[in-house]
């Protein structure tokens, strides 16, 4: 058996630059891996089989892990099979990239499990076909995503930081989030803010004062639950607070691990799930994925 940790991400910066000719939106975003994770188990089996725990209402055929496994099997044709068990912990549809991370963990885990060496360009292509965020999870750490987010460029990594993630039990439609944006307000300013953010990362610091997310301008007014979670983290003493992706999760950075744990313990609401977490470098991401 092989166990694979499937880590979540937050977006330290996210700018939506406009709609492309293919109908997708052009974005610039800075991804950051965190140690909040789901877990995959891979067991020997003569055929591909899949089961998922804690994700009701999603069939095997709809699950992105199953799609990833089938795509890789078709590409490398090992004929070895695997029993794949996905144990969910990261809330789905929360802007933390849980499904995308699961798909990438399945691709990387099955390559190791089957003992196949798939060229980087080929596995990147499979990942991009599954979803815009999936290619980032083949790398982990801190990275710039451009295009739809699928074109990945590693960025300098800062010292490990401590945070709390709060996931209100609501779902924000990504399509709704894009439709509600005023692109005239986001395009030019967002590109400049991303450039400044990356420049500060290259100087060796994590610019907490510069974190931003274009989706907040439309999502926060429409969803008081997300505003309340953000306000809670600010009252708990977070150094900076932001919504991740198109929501619904928010995360706040704290000065040390003890402060983050205390804030997480105080986040007691039936409508919230709260998680203390740490940022992961690219090296830590892979060490802990298969550790």
Catalytic (active-site) positions? 9, 133
Q: Per DSSP, what are the bridge partners of residue 253?
A: 163, 240
Distance from C-alpha of 133 to C-alpha of 31, rounded to nearest angstrom: 9
> Of 167, 266, 184, which is closest to residue 223 (Cα–Cα)?
167
52-56 long-range contacts (CB < 8 A, ≥24 apart) are: 52/85, 52/86, 52/88, 53/85, 53/86, 53/87, 53/88, 54/87, 54/88, 54/89, 55/86, 55/88, 55/92
User: Cβ(16)–Cβ(181) under 8 Å?
Assistant: yes
Q: Strand 142-147 vs strand 25-43: parallel, antiparallel, or unpaired?
A: antiparallel
Backbone angles phi, psi at 186, to 5 degrees: -95, -30
Query: 């800062």: which residue's tokens?
Result: 158
């Amino acid at each position: 058996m092989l166990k694979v940790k499937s880590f979540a991400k937050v977006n330290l910066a996210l700018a939506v630059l406009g709609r492309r000719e293919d109908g997708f939106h052009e974005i610039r975003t800075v991804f950051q891996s965190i140690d909040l994770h789901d877990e995959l188990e891979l067991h020997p089996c003569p055929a591909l089989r899949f089961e998922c725990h804690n994700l009701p209402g999603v069939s095997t055929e709809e699950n992105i892990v199953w799609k990833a496994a089938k795509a890789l099997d078709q590409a490398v044709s090992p004929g070895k099979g695997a029993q794949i068990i996905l144990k969910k912990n990261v809330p789905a549809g929360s802007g933390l990239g849980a499904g995308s991370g699961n798909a990438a963990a399945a691709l990387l885990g099955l390559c190791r499990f089957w003992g196949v060496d798939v060229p980087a360009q080929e596995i990147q292509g499979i990942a991009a076909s599954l979803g815009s965020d999936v290619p980032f999870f083949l790398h982990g750490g801190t990275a710039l995503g451009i295009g739809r987010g699928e074109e990945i460029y590693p960025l300098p990594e800062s010292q490990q930081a401590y945070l709390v993630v709060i996931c209100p039990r609501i779902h924000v439609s990504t399509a709704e989030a894009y439709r509600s944006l005023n692109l005239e307000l986001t395009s030019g300013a967002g590109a400049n803010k991303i450039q400044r953010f990356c420049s500060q990362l290259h100087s060796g610091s994590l610019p907490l004062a510069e974190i931003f997310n274009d989706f907040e301008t439309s999502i926060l007014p429409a969803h008081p639950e997300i505003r309340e979670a953000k306000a809670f983290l600010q009252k708990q003493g977070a150094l900076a607070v932001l919504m991740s992706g198109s929501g619904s999760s928010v995360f706040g950075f704290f000065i040390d691990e003890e402060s983050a744990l205390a804030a997480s313990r105080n986040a007691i609401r039936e409508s919230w799930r709260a998680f203390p977490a740490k940022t992961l470098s690219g090296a830590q991401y892979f060490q802990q994925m298969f550790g």
